[in-house]
Amino acid sequence: MGYFLTFEGPEGAGKTTQARLLADWLEARGEEVFLTREPGGGLPWLRQALLSPGAPHPLSPEAEYLLFSADRAEHSRRIGEALARGAWVISDRYLDSSLAYQGYGRGLDLDWMLQVARKAAPLKPRLTFLLDLPPEEGLSRAKEKNRFEAMDLAFHARVRQGYLELARKEPGRFVILDASRPVEVIHEEIRRAIMPLCGP
């Protein structure tokens, strides 16, 4: 079996960059890597509908979460297949994003969300790298604003606090990284964190 790793954090924290760097490093070591992302890792056509700032009909938080969950259910199946092959799975966002954004950010009941997730997201990451960044800094980095990036600062502050609360509850899974530092420094810290999982 392989290892399932996720990258989480607010907008502009550098998740995609760090996921790609780690995938490249593992592939250079001869490992099979399945690099993926949410939304769209399961049902690619849902990504634009969920992120586009020009969506014609605003979604309720409940509908939003259930659409993310539909994508995640199919995504989890694909992740499971890759793990069964012995691949390293690296996902740019997973369930923790929904808990932070739709739960803490949008006010959905976390117990209900977790009930849905028991079926839609049965796989749990071995490690989750939380790239932490003040929302003001993260939003200033965004080049093209998606629907979530366009939301107000108070929303993004709640999302950040949600992530930190999730990490506090599971210190054995989360690795909190200061995302304000240089890309190379963060990448090196991530490599050190996964070395115990790597073979000789």
Per-residue 3-state assignment (H helix, E strand, C coil) for 68-128: HHHHHHHHHHHHHHHHHCCCEEEEECCHHHHHHHHHHHCCCCHHHHHHHHHHHCCCCCCEE
Question: Does residue 120 have a known ligand-binding role?
Answer: no
Residue 56: pLDDT over 60: no
pLDDT computed for residue 132 by the predictor: 97
pLDDT computed for residue 108 by the predictor: 98
Average pLDDT over residues 121-130: 97
Residue 143: pLDDT over 90: no
* Per-residue confidence band for 165, with pLDDT thresholds at 50, 70 and 90: very high
Question: Does residue 64 have a known ligand-binding role?
Answer: no
Q: For the range 15-24, what are the long-range contacts, defined as Cβ-Cβ under 8 Å and sequence gap of 24 or more?
A: 15/92, 15/93, 15/131, 16/92, 17/183, 18/129, 18/131, 18/183, 18/186, 18/187, 18/190, 19/90, 19/91, 19/92, 21/183, 21/187, 21/190, 22/90, 22/187, 22/190, 22/191, 22/194, 23/88, 23/90
Q: Residue with structure tokens 């924290």?
A: 13
pLDDT digits (tens, 9 = 90+) for 21-43: 999 999 999 999 999 999 999 99
Q: Is 127 left (phi over 0), alpha (psi -120 to 50) or beta?
A: beta
Question: Does residue 138 have a known ligand-binding role?
Answer: no
Question: Does residue 9 have a known ligand-binding role?
Answer: yes
Question: Does residue 16 have a known ligand-binding role?
Answer: yes
| Positive or negative: CA dihedral 183, 190, 51, 103 | negative
Indicate the range of 85-89, 103-107, 152-156, 162-166 predicted with least confidence: 152-156
Residue 137: pLDDT over 60: yes
Say how many domains are in the chain.
Answer: 1
What is the extent of the structural domain holding 189? 4-197
Question: Does residue 10 have a known ligand-binding role?
Answer: yes
* Per-residue confidence band for 144, with pLDDT thresholds at 50, 70 and 90: low
Question: Does residue 107 have a known ligand-binding role?
Answer: no
What is the domain-level CATH number for residue 147? 3.40.50.300
pLDDT computed for residue 200 by the predictor: 66
Question: Does residue 13 have a known ligand-binding role?
Answer: yes
Indicate the range of 119-133, 144-158, 186-200 predicted with least confidence: 144-158
Average pLDDT over residues 110-135: 96
Residue 138: pLDDT over 80: no
Residue 97 tokens, joined:
């994003």
